[in-house]
Amino acid sequence: MFSFAVLATQGHARRGRLTLNRGTVETPVFMPVGTYGSVKGVMPSSLEAMGVEIILGNTFHLWLRPGLDVLRRFGGLHRFEGWPRPLLTDSGGFQVWSLGANAKVSEEGVAFASPVNGDKLLLTPELSMQIQRVLDSDIAMQFDECTAYQVEGRVAGEDEVCRSMQMSLRWAKRSRDEFIRLENPNALFGIVQGGMFEVLREESIAALARLDLPGYAIGGVSVGEPKAEMQRIVAHTPHRLPAAKPRYLMGVGTPEDLLEGIAAGVDMFDCVMPTRNARNGHLFTRFGDLRIRNARYKEDEAPPDPSCACPTCARFSRAYLHHLDRCGEMLAPMLASLHNLHFYVDVMRQVRAALAEGRFDAFAAQFSADRQRGL
């Protein structure tokens, strides 16, 4: 089962609802990242309590560990990781990109040595679909080549980016054919590539739209390009995708990036930032970012974010979090992750309410002013 309904629009921004096999997802949505089958340091019950409706898993990592035999035994990733709500899995393309020079890309797929045990492996569009079939994720992603911003120390040229984008299109078709052959009952999304070239992005969109997939993602952003380049593509691409299908901006970003993406017509986001930054003592708040390691918080009795209703802010002070961090207590990154995810999820809840009431622009302006005001 898959459907998407646009419930309200304001400019390019949309308030929508995704219906998947395991539940509905209100959009715009932020999806926490659970790379190895765990949103780092956060219990699934805590994610449910804060209103998370969908999380990510990673095909590449779960294929290597625990491997398909274990996942098959559990009937997929949901039961294995104790998460009954919808799941989206990345295809492995981005992880292969992360391997850099250690991966060899050909038309067939990507050959590389396993970072776990050195085994020689070949990941293809077909194998990615077979793995995602075993994971039984509610949304599977096509296998793509995430085009690098830089190649061998220089910015990739239009010809190289074009060749990469066109291979991703051929891989999209192979992914789609294998997805159908496997009788996967879930939904497959395509991924727009084309680097920082608008004309290539438009070519990618046109070809993917002809495949008539249930949804489309924007890949190849947040891959080392300057911020202004990312903003140019995020402003350009989303609203050119088919209006009736959900649009997913992969791997982005800060709260401000999310608001810009929504204004450009994006419905879905994922990013490791709330959890990764939390582990480094970086808390996002309505009134700017808080670096809990700063000595100024040593005796601060205030909650991390006075406007936040999360379990961390309801019970603990900045001084306590500062202390836990200083002592290397594992509760420090757990409490910070809980707060940051709650903050991201709550911003999205507020965005959806603003869109439903036709006041998104005013909300975005106020949010930006609040964030810049500082704590």
Site for Zn ion, rule CB under 5 A: 305, 308, 310, 312-313, 339
Peptide bond into 28 cis (omega under 30): yes
Please answer whether residues 230 and 252 qualify as being in contact, where contact means their C-beta atoms are separated by less than 8 angstroms: yes
Token pair listed for 323: 């202390």
> Cβ 71 to Zn ion, closest distance in Å?
34
Cβ closest to Zn ion, residue 339 vs residue 352: 339
Cβ closest to Zn ion, residue 9 vs residue 317: 317
> Cβ 4 to Zn ion, closest distance in Å?
31
Token pair listed for 87: 């799941």
> Cβ 335 to Zn ion, closest distance in Å?
9
Burial of 183 (0-12, 13-18, 19+ CB in 10 A): exposed
> Cβ 342 to Zn ion, closest distance in Å?
5
> Cβ 283 to Zn ion, closest distance in Å?
8
Token pair listed for 260: 């810009």
Please answer whether residues 128 and 175 qualify as being in contact, where contact means their C-beta atoms are separated by less than 8 angstroms: yes
DSSP reduced 3-state for 249: strand
Spatial distance between the Cα atoms of 360 and 102, rounded to a whole number of angstroms: 45
DSSP reduced 3-state for 174: helix
Q: Is 361 a catalytic residue?
A: no
Cβ closest to Zn ion, residue 82 vs residue 306: 306
Q: Render 86-120 in DSSP notation, one character per residue.
A: -EEEE-SHHHHHHHGGGEEE-SS-EEEE-TTT--E
**Closest of 352, 354, 335 to residue 274, by C-alpha:** 335
DSSP reduced 3-state for 25: strand
User: Which residue in the list 136, 257, 267, 270 is annotated as catalytic?
Assistant: 270
Cβ closest to Zn ion, residue 46 vs residue 237: 46
Token pair listed for 80: 């294995």
Cβ closest to Zn ion, residue 264 vs residue 348: 348
Q: Is 370 a catalytic residue?
A: no
User: Which residue in the list 90, 138, 325, 346 is annotated as catalytic?
Assistant: 90
Cβ closest to Zn ion, residue 221 vs residue 308: 308
> Cβ 51 to Zn ion, closest distance in Å?
14
For tokens 């970072």, the residue is 115
Integer CA distances (angstroms), 129 to 135, 180, 302, 363, in order: 10, 10, 49, 40
**Closest of 62, 20, 122, 93 to residue 250, by C-alpha:** 93
C-beta neighbour count of 167 within 10 angstroms: 17
DSSP reduced 3-state for 6: strand
Cβ closest to Zn ion, residue 260 vs residue 305: 305
DSSP lists the bridge partners of residue 284 as: 289
Catalytic residue annotation: 90, 270
